[in-house]
Amino acid sequence: MGALNPIEIAAAGGYAAQRYNVPADGTGRKVLDMASSPYTASNANNTTNTIATSYSGTPAIIVKSASMLTLRSNGLVDFSPPQFSLAGAKSVGFWAWNPRATSIPLSLFFSSSGGFSTGFSSLVLAIYPGLNFYLTPLLAGTNLPFSVGADFSAINRIRVRADDAKGTSLTPMSGTDALMIGDFYADPPAQKAKFSIAIDDGLPDLANPYGNAIIGGDGVARPHCFASYVASYGWRCMAYIIANGAGKPGFLDRGQLAAVQDLYDVRFGVHTYSHPEARDIANAPSNAGLRLLGPIGYNLLQAAGGSMSVTTTLTGTTITPSNDATAIAADLDKAQDLMNRWGFPEAAKHVALPQGGFDAFVNQALQTQGFKSVRGVQSAALKINGGVYSAQIQGTQLEPPMQTMTLPSSIQLDNGSVPDATIIGYIDAVIASGGFGTSYQHGLPNSPVTQQKTKLAFDYLKLKEQQGLIDIVTLY
């Protein structure tokens, strides 16, 4: 982030003063100084309170402490800072402190109209334990976590909400259990962007070439499997394997996975053990994925009054949901165990969520199983918001220290409805914000649309790599 000046942050609520590296004014345009006053905040009952320097016990009040504001309740908080501008900014950065041992999902809203019915922009991201600096892109027109609707030249109201998952309140905070939000900066200097290319499921497409010739990154037209096509650009890919599919008809077996790793240095992750999908349980919400192994699936089966077990459509696995996170964690554990026993230990560290299904119980299981990275899907309605970043290395700080980045869940290249401009815009957003992006698909079939969009993305990534703006990486 350029020059960093150490200052004291004296945390409210009994924390000892600690010294952190906080960006100086020269490391980005400071647009909101939390030490300024006055601020006003609305509590959960929509009455107005003046922000004090200590906790008053009023629900949902926030507390000013040095350069941080402290949120001490479930529900949401609105406050009115001095008007500031993010006009022309490509990214916004801010500090946040989480005293808990697990991540807290935070919803952040900016308004230019004094309210949140119109003219607002919103962001959902996970706040890791401890003090970290967070960056998010503000670019419009791409599948970004920030829904851009505010006039960024005249921000006059902010809403902060902490959730356990989509639409559910955070367990109430009290005492020293407080989420703290720090100063905001426009366009903090970003680190060099990183990008990971992925293929899901473990289907033959990963290793077996197709009959038609495709022009690769080396300019040569020949039949390619997905791994060889990625390799023609000088890169390696991530392959997320459905563990209980491996070796079954329509899936690669252990020997084929080992061979493609040896030949193209493919890195593996898990795509769960059973790969549950919405179609597996009647009346399940769309894109439910792993949520079907938790209370959603449990209650659907209980209401149906039949068996509490079902067989997954894709892999033929018998699953028995639980009314907590137990069955979700067990499924992930079996996937990790199998990949470890097969000699792919890196796979136990990384997971791609089936259908992007995510809630508080999935989040709990993911953290219990100790994954380093969790990848979601492209759908804007399915952004991961409860404990891990989409397309972000969990538990691994990016350089410089204490700076992390949140970006869209991913970009899908075998979805013919995704406009070319969205693919290019996604990559541009990753670069502009020094982020960590990913693409995913399920193969490289004899489909002109899929092949065109894959080549478009890879050619553009190669151009930006040659310009020194992004690194193409795999996860370890």
The CATH number for 259's domain is: 3.20.20.370
The pLDDT of residue 84 is 84
The pLDDT of residue 110 is 84
Q: Spell 254-279 as b/e; 16+ CB within 10 A means b.
A: eebbeebbeebebbbbbbbbbbbbbe
Cα–Cα distance, 396 to 377 (Å, whole number): 21
Answer with the one of 124, 151, 186 that is the final residue of a domain.
186
Q: Spell 20-37 as b/e; 16+ CB within 10 A means b.
A: bbbbeeebbbbbbebeee
Contact between 294 and 353 (Cβ < 8 Å): no
Answer with the one of 169, 186, 203 that is the final residue of a domain.
186
- Verify that 207 and 111 share a domain, yes or no: no
- Verify that 180 and 254 share a domain, yes or no: no
- Verify that 242 and 146 share a domain, yes or no: no
**CA torsion through residues 146, 149, 150, 151, sign:** positive
Q: How high is the mean pLDDT in each 10-residue block of the chain (476 residues)?
A: 25 26 50 59 36 32 50 62 80 75 72 75 69 68 57 81 50 57 74 86 94 91 96 96 95 97 95 96 90 93 94 95 95 97 92 83 82 71 38 30 48 89 86 79 89 96 96 83
Answer with the one of 186, 210, 243 that is the final residue of a domain.
186
Range of the domain at 393: 193-472
- Verify that 323 and 450 share a domain, yes or no: yes
The pLDDT of residue 60 is 34
- Verify that 146 and 244 share a domain, yes or no: no
The pLDDT of residue 119 is 74
Average pLDDT in the chain? 74
Other beta carbons less than 10 A from residue 222's beta carbon: 14
Q: What is the CATH number of the domain that holds 150?
A: 2.60.120
Q: How many domains does the chain have?
A: 2
Residue type, 319: I
How far from the centroid of its chain's Cα atoms is residue 267's Cα? 20
- Verify that 207 and 305 share a domain, yes or no: yes
- Verify that 160 and 243 share a domain, yes or no: no
- Verify that 181 and 213 share a domain, yes or no: no
The pLDDT of residue 359 is 74
- Verify that 144 and 241 share a domain, yes or no: no
- Verify that 227 and 344 share a domain, yes or no: yes
Contact between 138 and 91 (Cβ < 8 Å): yes
